Structure 1
Amino acid sequence: SDIHQDVYVLRVRMLAQHLTFRPCLRRPACGLQNLATSVVVARQPIKPCGAPRSSCLELRGPPRHRLMVAHAGRRGRPEEPTPEMPDDDFFLDEDEDYEFDEDEDGEFVEQLDPMSRKLMGIKARDVDEIEEEEEFDEEEDEGVLEEAAEADRDGAAADDVGEPSTSYPEPPERVYRASDLFGEAAVLDAALWLASSYPDVLVTGVQSNPHLVVPGDLFVFHPGLTPEGDLEAISIAVGQGATVVVAPQVKAEEPGLDPAPDPVGLAGILPDEVPLIRVEDTQGMGARLAAAFYDIPSANMVTIGVMGLLGKTTTSWLIRGLLEELGQSVGLMSSIEHAIAEDRLDEDGYLWEPMEEDPSVERESSVPFKLIPYAGKYEQHYKDTIPGLNSQKILAGMRDRGAGVAVMEMGTKSLALGTYDYVDLNVAVVTGLSVRMGVPASEQPEDRADEVRAVAELAMLTLERKLIDPETQVLVINADDPATTELLRRLDNAVPVVTFGMSNSRADVFVESYKNNVWETEVIIRTPTGRLQIITNLLGRHNAYNLVAAVATGIALKVPLQSIVAGIEAVEIPGRSEVIDEGQEFSVVVDAARSPETLASMLDALRRGGARQIFTVFGCSGGDDPAVRPKMGAVAHAKSDYVIVTNENPRMEDPAKVVADVVAGFPDDIINRYSAYAYFPFQDQGRTPLWFEPYLQKAQRDNKRYIMEDRYSAIRAAIGTAGPDDVVLLAGKGDQDWVEHANTDGSILRGWLDDRVEARNALSKLKYLKQIPKFNRDTLPWGSRIETLMETLAVDPGVLSRPGPVDTALD
């Protein structure tokens, strides 16, 4: 090629299942941008624009030949210079012992421990054998390319309707005698009783949702997970074919009394052929039985668990990305989705498919002041507290479909439920237990110290129980966390440890340099095997901790540095520092920051990145801790130029009450300035009389603090007002594509609303606003209507508390 001597176009064998696209994170200065339709193979890193080769659009193929497609990059970037790229010897300055060269596969494999061998799926082979595999017939290759293109088209069509696009082996059918299943789970009393009283009862599945029971299922009733009580839930399950029922032990009404043999009248519901087994802990028993039924799925994969106060979701996604770069089939359990490869799994471990039509498919956006029905979309019913039974089913769904690795986000509430008691961990990643890493000390939640200590103790107890085998397990832990010393003391060198950090330079994996602009972050990280540079769209110091935690996990698994960089840079996490770029002159960022700490970290990163003005659009959810709301308001006020408080998910609470709680965090001098007004001006203008509207708007405009309960309108107001080099942060919802309000029947009604969709739609309409002559959009509300009204009224705001003069003036 005449563009770069190290780049040349080749015929390559493309297997359809390896084709995965991702966008470039670099500016449009790349010398390869004219090759946007060419497939190229690089023997050396391609860096004509100063970017690592992983910054180009990539077709992930077998790791021996990395397929690249050059990509023009994003538009609308600010003109600041890109952080300089280190020299080649700095980018991959690996120790000789860890060299990974095409001709030295066998030598590298000999250095791997059993867990790493299993992870990487590498076997020592002769170079001649490898070269022989690479030879292929030209006509045969053309046929392969044609089939790949057709398969890719079919996959894209499947994606359009939400159907799984990947072919997997069929999960095996499983059948147990009930007595054998309880015996496998080491519940011996129940096993012996079933063997003598119900020897022929068979179990073909386990289920905790009575509505999803199919004939042959063992049903485990978990109080509180479904709205039904004992009688109704068990009746539904038996009616749908449950062959065994496990229910909670019923306590005596008075101390010292034995429980009645049938305290809730199950004798009239259960047929004689359906055994009922009472246990004290149905959550734990459900997980135990499911682990036995599915033959402990975590034992057949490399299982990685991520726990801590912050960063679990992001770190889990980053780890998945770097492992997929090795060509591994990776399963993921996270609060965003459960998935294997590109396909989502439901909470029973089956490939997810929409069961009804999606009314939003043909829509460009939602509409103001109205809910679009939420249907045909992926939902998680156990987002924070997934039962152990379901975690085993999801792991089995991954394992049965060929996953070699499972990455699990281990939530605090789920730890307390015992969700992971029967999960074998190979790698435990601890993001931070005693403080929220990456968050300024001034933003640390002092009033939640007891909660933080409880989380730390729970995590330590879990790790003490699980980390016992130095041959197959490793701990990846934050060296900057004060709790690390105590945890390591309690583990007493039970397993190898890899530490990471940003402050403690003695950490094994250490961030030497961290900087960002409003579009992306660059980190330089030192590892035991060399130094590397990562460029990502993830903003904020808290995300730098997530990045280094993922890198440390890769180091613990002996993943080559090239794969770590390429894999992490390829990751795009829905609603996590997600940049919405439609060619505008300013940045729009969607992020799930819904705590004072993460919101502060995001705003600090945007300010440090050179934002001219920051527009923060956020709210708080109904039903969540009300004490957090004023803190969110205080952070947004202190660190933003414009603040628009809006709805997040009001649920059963009055939206005005939630907003008022947030506004209470604004400084007293702003609040008290309007104490004589007839109505408080920092509320949605729809909640005050029409005559008060200009005064409310002026108060909000003077302080650049606005209240718009309708999120649709709030997003468009911020985007329509932003100018060159500004940043609009849409905070709180992140990947959520729904909003929840109270229904008239007392239930919660969910409607479709996606910040990312709304932002793109709003950006597409900017051209129409620009066509309006002499239309002032420098601040809100747009235009000069307020000044005209105020001059007409000429009323002292101090009299607004007294009726009469204002009404006369308006007349």
Structure 2
Amino acid sequence: MAITLLDLTKIIGGTLVGDSADAADTAADLSLSAIGLDSSNFPEREAVFAAVPGTRTHGAQFAHKDGAANAVAILTDEAGFEILREAGETRPVVVVGNIREVLGQASSLIYGEPSKDFTLIGVTGTSGKTTTSYLLEKGLIEAGHKVGLIGTTGTRIDGEAVPTKLTTPEAPTLQALFARMRDHGVSHVVMEVSSHALSLGRVAGSDFDVAAFTNLSQDHLDFHPTMEDYFDAKALFFRADSPLAAQKHVVCIDDSWGVRMAEEAANAQTVSTQGQEADFRAVDISVGDSGAQQFHIVTPENESYSVELALPGAFNIANATLAFAAATRVGVDASAFARGMSKVHVPGRMERIDEGQDFLAVVDYAHKPAAVAAVLDTLRAQIDGRLGVVIGAGGDRDATKRGPMGQLSAQRADLVIVTDDNPRSEDPATIRAAVTQGAHDGAAESPREVEVLEIGDRAEAIRVLVQWAQPGDGIVVAGKGHEVGQLVAGVTHHFDDREQVREALHNKLSHKTDAQTTDKG
């Protein structure tokens, strides 16, 4: 049943502007079925416009533009109301102290609290969110469930792609997605939950059955002033006194942040892949020549489940064990779930590019220091030859991680090519300089001879890396993974690392064949 504007106002503690009997009667009769905060992409039915303060301007400035002009009511704060009043606004306005604090709850109520109608699993952490979400999706499908997925690579409803922009969408978009999934008969929803989403209350009003924590390392320090603040944002998903906390928790304790999160979490079970005592443990780990892995997961009941994982890397064993723990905490068939994980391939995450070459080529999304180090360590363990990497850093983001990314790369690789990632509005040369300096520092600390190159053109950097590789070597293009665009000075240009690696490999192999033919002639 649709909620009325008057009931919504009472529940969220707002003030309905205009205290006459007519205003109250109007609000009591006004049923709401949608809410939005983007005037250019606004719901067409009985919708509320959420006028949210921004970093540069207030959303109330857009209340009469595009689709927002058709809103039946407006939700805003005091500053927004002043803008509306001066503009001569005549529609009902609900005023609250802090709109971000109530937007999630309001959106959920308007869409009929959809997350209460399915099992909702949230995954947070610095690295591994997308892979863990994919593992959950495949495992749940294998166990016979109809699944929705929301995350970095997009949204899927029962396997059908739905375009979205953010890892965790804004609350109105998120609750609309939940309602759509509910209406499609989805039984389980898996979603990545970013620290931004937790800090800004995007997931407020969502009824999470279980929250999973992967790990924590340096990232987003442009948004969070310190690592402690970054941890506190993640902890909103786990602490008993947090209004955003899930009902149950699973926490990977392979790093010190995970150990701390497990101590602070309510109703938590732990996951370990490195021999620590934990509720869920990965044991008997073996790695094939292709990087595929086999291991067993031991449960709190001391039951053992065999897992075959096509994804390489010790960190993916942690992701799989965490996914398994989260699924079993909500009653999913463990054997079927374990079988489903064997079918997972994640775009742009340790994705092998094979054009018949005699060396290993990988594209990965790693764009933070710890993730870059983990990828390079994984590849080093799989090859007998040299290791090369193309690395860059994004503009308008945490600048303090640029040097460490270059440093950790040079400590592990034989060739480091520093290039552009997504410069955004920054000078690309300035970003490259910081990464390159870090790479030189790392090279000076390395026991092996390391070559450091700076090539701004990303396509050329990839071509040089591929040309450098010899039989038995390994190369990785890090940073963009599944992305198909490069953002430079406000313009997004088509760019896909996977396409570029394939083209470079094809050209190298073609020239090799031509040379062999010439020699025979």
Same fold (TM over 0.5): yes
Q: Cα distance, 1:576 vs. partner?
A: 0.7
Q: Cα distance, 1:179 vs. partner?
A: 2.2
Letter of the structure 1 residue corresponding to residue 96 of structure 2: V
Letter of the structure 1 residue corresponding to residue 38 of structure 2: N
* Contact 1:283–1:389, Cα closer than 8 Å, also in 2: no
Letter of the structure 2 residue corresponding to residue 511 of structure 1: A
1:431 to 168, 192, 214: 214
* Contact 2:76–2:99, Cα closer than 8 Å, also in 1: yes
Distance 1:640 1:558, change over 3 A: same
CA distance in 2, matches of 1:669, 1:389: 45
Letter of the structure 1 residue corresponding to residue 200 of structure 2: L
Distance 1:467 1:705, change over 3 A: closer
Q: Which residue of 1 aligns with 2:162?
A: 345
Q: Which residue of 2 aligns with 1:524?
A: 295
Distance 1:648 1:238, change over 3 A: closer
Q: Which residue of 1 aligns with 2:274?
A: 503
Letter of the structure 2 residue corresponding to residue 209 of structure 1: D
Distance 1:289 1:319, change over 3 A: same
Q: Cα distance, 1:630 vs. partner?
A: 1.4
Q: Which residue of 2 aligns with 1:477?
A: 251
Q: Which residue of 1 aligns with 2:229?
A: 454
Q: Which residue of 2 aligns with 1:62?
A: none
What SS is found at the alignment partner of 2:79?
Answer: coil
Q: Which residue of 1 aligns with 2:328?
A: 555
Matches within 5 A, 1:18-417: 176-183=3-10, 185-187=11-13, 189-190=15-16, 194-196=23-25, 198-213=27-42, 214=44, 216-224=46-54, 229-230=58-59, 232-236=61-65, 240-250=69-79, 263-264=82-83, 266-270=85-89, 272=90, 274-347=91-164, 380=165, 382-383=166-167, 386-417=169-200
CA distance in 2, matches of 1:660, 1:490: 40
Q: CA RMSD in A?
A: 3.3
Letter of the structure 1 residue corresponding to residue 297 of structure 2: R
Q: Cα distance, 1:287 vs. partner?
A: 1.5
CA distance in 2, matches of 1:444, 1:335: 16
Q: Cα distance, 1:628 vs. partner?
A: 1.3
CA distance in 1, matches of 2:325, 2:471: 38
Count of residue pairs brought into register by the alignment: 506
Q: Which residue of 2 aligns with 1:663?
A: 436
* Contact 2:440–2:452, Cα closer than 8 Å, also in 1: no
Letter of the structure 1 residue corresponding to residue 109 of structure 2: A
Distance 1:772 1:631, change over 3 A: same
CA distance in 2, matches of 1:198, 1:724: 72
Distance 1:597 1:661, change over 3 A: same
Distance 1:515 1:295, change over 3 A: same
Q: Which residue of 2 aligns with 1:796?
A: none
Q: Per-residue displacement from partner, 1:197-224 (whole Å, max 9, x unpaired)?
A: 5454443421110112235321001222
What SS is found at the alignment partner of 1:588?
Answer: strand
* Contact 1:307–1:410, Cα closer than 8 Å, also in 2: yes
Q: Which residue of 2 aligns with 1:111?
A: none
Q: Cα distance, 1:594 vs. partner?
A: 0.7
Letter of the structure 2 residue corresponding to residue 584 of structure 1: Q
Q: Cα distance, 1:402 vs. partner?
A: 1.3
How does the TM-score come out when normalised to structure 2?
0.87
Distance 1:449 1:517, change over 3 A: farther
Distance 1:192 1:181, change over 3 A: farther
* Contact 2:407–2:443, Cα closer than 8 Å, also in 1: no
CA distance in 2, matches of 1:238, 1:561: 47
What SS is found at the alignment partner of 2:374?
Answer: helix
Q: Which residue of 1 aligns with 2:472?
A: 725
CA distance in 2, matches of 1:450, 1:176: 39
Does 2:519 correspond to 1:736? no
CA distance in 2, matches of 1:758, 1:430: 34
Letter of the structure 1 residue corresponding to residue 251 of structure 2: I
Does 2:487 correspond to 1:716? no
* Contact 1:514–1:521, Cα closer than 8 Å, also in 2: no
Distance 1:628 1:480, change over 3 A: closer
* Contact 1:179–1:192, Cα closer than 8 Å, also in 2: no
* Contact 2:462–2:500, Cα closer than 8 Å, also in 1: yes
* Contact 1:578–1:590, Cα closer than 8 Å, also in 2: yes
Q: Per-residue displacement from partner, 1:82-114 (whole Å, max 9, x unpaired)?
A: xxxxxxxxxxxxxxxxxxxxxxxxxxxxxxxxx
Distance 1:599 1:750, change over 3 A: same
Letter of the structure 1 residue corresponding to residue 492 of structure 2: R
More strand by share: 2
Q: Cα distance, 1:772 vs. partner?
A: 4.6
Distance 1:342 1:567, change over 3 A: same
Q: Which residue of 1 aligns with 2:500?
A: 758
Deviates more, 1:299-308 or 1:194-203: 194-203
Q: Cα distance, 1:413 vs. partner?
A: 1.2
CA distance in 2, matches of 1:446, 1:625: 5
For structure 2, the 5+ residue unaligned runs are none
Q: Cα distance, 1:738 vs. partner?
A: 0.5
CA distance in 2, matches of 1:544, 1:454: 28
CA distance in 1, matches of 2:134, 2:240: 26
* Contact 1:614–1:642, Cα closer than 8 Å, also in 2: yes
Letter of the structure 1 residue corresponding to residue 124 of structure 2: M
* Contact 2:414–2:450, Cα closer than 8 Å, also in 1: no
Q: Cα distance, 1:427 vs. partner?
A: 1.4
How does the TM-score come out when normalised to structure 1?
0.57
Letter of the structure 2 residue corresponding to residue 640 of structure 1: A
Q: Cα distance, 1:411 vs. partner?
A: 0.8
CA distance in 1, matches of 2:317, 2:5: 50
CA distance in 1, matches of 2:195, 2:9: 29
Deviates more, 1:511-520 or 1:569-578: 511-520
Q: Which residue of 2 aligns with 1:72?
A: none
What SS is found at the alignment partner of 2:342?
Answer: helix
CA distance in 2, matches of 1:726, 1:629: 26
CA distance in 2, matches of 1:244, 1:224: 20
What SS is found at the alignment partner of 2:327?
Answer: helix
Distance 1:708 1:481, change over 3 A: closer
CA distance in 1, matches of 2:365, 2:67: 41
Q: Cα distance, 1:304 vs. partner?
A: 0.8
CA distance in 2, matches of 1:725, 1:711: 24
Distance 1:311 1:627, change over 3 A: same
CA distance in 1, matches of 2:59, 2:279: 52
Matches within 5 A, 1:458-469: 458-465=233-240
* Contact 2:360–2:473, Cα closer than 8 Å, also in 1: yes
CA distance in 1, matches of 2:377, 2:220: 17
CA distance in 1, matches of 2:222, 2:424: 25
CA distance in 1, matches of 2:261, 2:508: 53
Q: Which residue of 1 aligns with 2:314?
A: 541
* Contact 2:380–2:474, Cα closer than 8 Å, also in 1: no
Q: Per-residue displacement from partner, 1:238-294 (whole Å, max 9, x unpaired)?
A: 76311101122229xxxxxxxxxx743634342x3x112222222233222211111
What SS is found at the alignment partner of 1:765?
Answer: helix
Q: Cα distance, 1:558 vs. partner?
A: 4.2
CA distance in 2, matches of 1:427, 1:545: 17
* Contact 1:248–1:279, Cα closer than 8 Å, also in 2: yes
Q: Cα distance, 1:461 vs. partner?
A: 4.1
Q: Cα distance, 1:517 vs. partner?
A: 5.7
Q: Cα distance, 1:330 vs. partner?
A: 0.7
Q: Which is higher, the Rg of structure 1 or of structure 2?
A: 1
Letter of the structure 1 residue corresponding to residue 315 of structure 2: H
What SS is found at the alignment partner of 1:406?
Answer: strand
* Contact 1:307–1:431, Cα closer than 8 Å, also in 2: yes
Letter of the structure 1 residue corresponding to residue 238 of structure 2: L
CA distance in 2, matches of 1:510, 1:305: 21
